[in-house]
Amino acid sequence: MSNSSPNVESLYSKSLKQLCYSMNEDTLVNVLKWLPPSISLQILWKVLKVNNGCEKFVYNLPESKISSIKRGREIAQMSLHNSGYAEPVSYRQMSSETHEGFATIQQTKFVDRFNFSQHIDLNLFSKYLEVTNYRSELFTIFQICIQINGFQFPKHLADEWIKIDIQDESNSVYVHHIDQGLKLGIFLGDAGWFSECALVLSHTYKIITTKWLCHDQNLKLVKIIQCLTKWLLVVSNYHNFEEAKVVLQHMLHTIGIIEKIERRKLCIAYAYVAVSQYYYVLMEFNEAWSWAFKAVYELQDKSADILKLLVISHAIRVCSVLNKLSTARKLINQLHTYEKEIDQNVDVDILLNIACYSLKADLAKDSINSYYIALDSRRNLFGYYNLHTAIVFVDYAYARYVCDYSTTDFNEAMRSILQGIFIMEKIGLPNDNMLLVNAGRIKALILEEKALDIMDRGIDIYIHDGIRDLQADGIKRLLERMKRNMLNEAEALHLKALQVSLQAVGVKALLTAKSYCNLGRLYQSQEKYTQSEQMHLKAIEIKESILGKDNPEVALSLGHLASLYTYQLKKYREAEVLYLRSKTIYETTYGQQYTGLLYDFQGLVEVYRELNDIEKCNQYTENMQRFHETREAWLHEVHTATDENCTKDDFSLEKFKCILNECACDK
């Protein structure tokens, strides 16, 4: 049988090819209507000649890793090779026409000879959702439909399902309709259409809880938890916190019921991940970690591999943001023992979670390359005009901003954030959507650094020994005006972020504190020192009221206020107290190798120099030197971290749980 399989497959492929060659619109209609969905989906893919089968769009790691990184870099830099302009686009060239032109190049290429999208209705699409082994192709076909029909296509599909009037109220009909709603909603969320996903799932939840008379309570709980898990994930990731808060209450209630079931077999690990992600987006990282930890322990040996991968990679992200870098590294090493092929979308999700670790662990190149691959993959799978693609642009822009902080070259970070904002606006995100507002906040951070750097760089570029003083003065005034305009734009973006945050989550929220913190730093750059102090004090007050006085987030704001006192207001004794308090928090929470300590040491050196305390100035100068020396060795230890007492070279849940518990067992 195995010997004949290649011939059978070859004959099947040849038949499909012949059918596609002789295709006309009537034949295509019949193919879509009558053939099994798995076959008609393959035929449709071949008929559309998506990207002409070009290897440029094939995702096949690790073989294509280098070329994927190259393509991702070109996307981030907006290299317009196909338009005859090979150099990356500068910030000054970022007009709407430039964006539109670049987006056209990045769109999926296809051939539509038979108006196929006119024949894709809800009924046919629901059949395609049953085909799980061609999901990547379905994602791409779906975004081609959007390219043809416009950005309202997903909403129309969602509305069409919601408007279905169920005449037959039998149990089997409701089960079918609920399953259809779950599959459509989950697909829309996976495809990057979060708002439309939430519409479908909220309607599905209403049907499950108010109309479906199900006598099997276990079955009903399964449907409820499936619905709530994806619903909470998408509204959290969409930063729709008002709706997310409501969904969370339903989720916690349902989890409580399920956890009380004796000898239960239902695994709700991904529901725990959804709750963890809700708190992660709200920056409540300790709460996010407690749920991520529960999710790993909820996994069972018989749990699907894809579930294990998603749960553990989420734990890596939360570990990293809490600076549990050794634990994160061990989890990553163990995750890499999984050798089976992984779905492209899941693989990139894992890659982005590991990129979070790489950024925190000073592996800038690894982090950047991960984002390049993610940009390439998201663009190929979902299209350029897609929220998944935009979110990677925004996340990469911030990562690049952090990586380039020492070089002050923020051009690629700026190009990436502008692309992310452009896509979000183009696909119709409201102006007060917090995803879009957060992208504006990151743009403001980059603008501020570019503005501060513009005088030195501008003088270097424009002023030299041969220039006349009059010209030098004119250039200085020009650069001052450019700096002022950039800082004013940054201020407007930060104020918008604060306003929307206050409306979305209120005053007592870490997202609001972040906005006050950002404004405090900006006002310091604008030489508005009184306002800067007020913003930092508000940020500290909010953080302490939520997290307590000894949390690293509090230490971050203490350091910012201390910097203002040191370098602008000359309040050296007040600054000393703040630096020392920040230092103690970091050392207690993270140990001696946390990067935030370096800023405290630098500040204390400056404080004691101004106070003429030579002994302490020398002490903290030595601390800075020792920090650099020991951190390199510590990072090497982290990057090569293994667990000698608990070694299993396989995808063992026991191993992952031992890592989380910092176990020293003999297994």
**420 touches 75 (CB < 8 A):** no
User: What is the distance between the alpha carbons of residues 471 and 13, in angstroms, rounded to a whole number?
Assistant: 72
The most confident of the ranges 173-182, 206-215, 329-338, 572-581 is 572-581
Q: Categorize the per-residue pLDDT at 4 as very low, low, confident or very high, splitting at 50, 70 and 90.
A: very low
Task: Return the pLDDT at 199.
Answer: 97
Task: Return the pLDDT at 96.
Answer: 82
Strand locations in 533-609 (E): none
658 versus 315: which is more confidently predicted?
315
The pLDDT of 579-600, averaged and rounded, is 90
Task: Return the pLDDT at 666.
Answer: 43
Decide if pLDDT at 278 tops 70: yes
Token readout for 491 is: 């201020």
Decide if pLDDT at 419 tops 60: yes
Share of the chain above pLDDT 70, in %: 89
**596 touches 619 (CB < 8 A):** no
Q: Hey, what CATH topology would domain 551-647 get?
A: 1.25.40
User: What is the distance between the alpha carbons of residues 159 and 358, in angstroms, rounded to a whole number?
Assistant: 41
User: What is the distance between the alpha carbons of residues 48 and 23, in angstroms, rounded to a whole number?
Assistant: 11
| Weakest mean pLDDT among 1-15, 89-103, 536-550 | 1-15
The pLDDT of 485-497, averaged and rounded, is 95
Decide if pLDDT at 349 tops 70: yes
Task: Return the pLDDT at 54.
Answer: 57
Q: What is the DSSP string of 306-349?
A: HHHHHHHHHHHHHHHHTT-HHHHHHHHHHHTT--S---HHHHHH
425 versus 214: which is more confidently predicted?
425
Q: Categorize the per-residue pLDDT at 177 as very low, low, confident or very high, splitting at 50, 70 and 90.
A: very high
Task: Return the pLDDT at 8.
Answer: 54
Number of C-beta neighbours around residue 109 at 10 A: 14
Task: Return the pLDDT at 83.
Answer: 47
For residue 37, say if its preceding peptide bond is cis, omega within 30 degrees of 0. Answer: no
**449 touches 457 (CB < 8 A):** no
Contacts (Cβ under 8 Å, ≥6 apart) of 415: 76, 77, 78, 88, 89, 91, 94
User: Residue 76: what are its φ and ψ, rounded to 5°?
Assistant: -60, -40
Q: Categorize the per-residue pLDDT at 465 as very low, low, confident or very high, splitting at 50, 70 and 90.
A: very low
**152 touches 159 (CB < 8 A):** no
Cα 332 to chain center, whole Å?
A: 18
**111 touches 23 (CB < 8 A):** no
Q: What is the DSSP string of 191-231?
A: TT-HHHHHHHHHHHHHHHHHT---S-HHHHHHHHHHHHHHH
Rounded mean pLDDT of the chain?
88
| Domain residue spans of the chain | 151-260, 551-647
The pLDDT of 561-581, averaged and rounded, is 96
The pLDDT of 174-186, averaged and rounded, is 94
Q: What is the pTM of this model?
A: 0.91
| Weakest mean pLDDT among 40-44, 292-296, 584-588 | 40-44
The pLDDT of 111-130, averaged and rounded, is 88
| Weakest mean pLDDT among 235-244, 269-278, 615-624, 639-648 | 639-648
The pLDDT of 65-77, averaged and rounded, is 89
Per-residue three-class SS string for 382-394: HCCCCHHHHHHHH
Number of C-beta neighbours around residue 248 at 10 A: 19
Task: Return the pLDDT at 460.
Answer: 56
Share of the chain above pLDDT 90, in %: 58
Helices (H), 404-468: 411-426, 434-462
Task: Return the pLDDT at 446.
Answer: 94
Task: Return the pLDDT at 79.
Answer: 79
Token readout for 115 is: 């108006």
| Weakest mean pLDDT among 1-15, 114-128, 216-230, 495-509 | 1-15
Q: Determine the straight-line distance between the first and last CA of the chain, rounded to whole angstroms.
A: 42
User: What is the distance between the alpha carbons of residues 339 and 26, in angstroms, rounded to a whole number?
Assistant: 44
| Weakest mean pLDDT among 323-337, 398-412, 619-633, 650-664 | 650-664
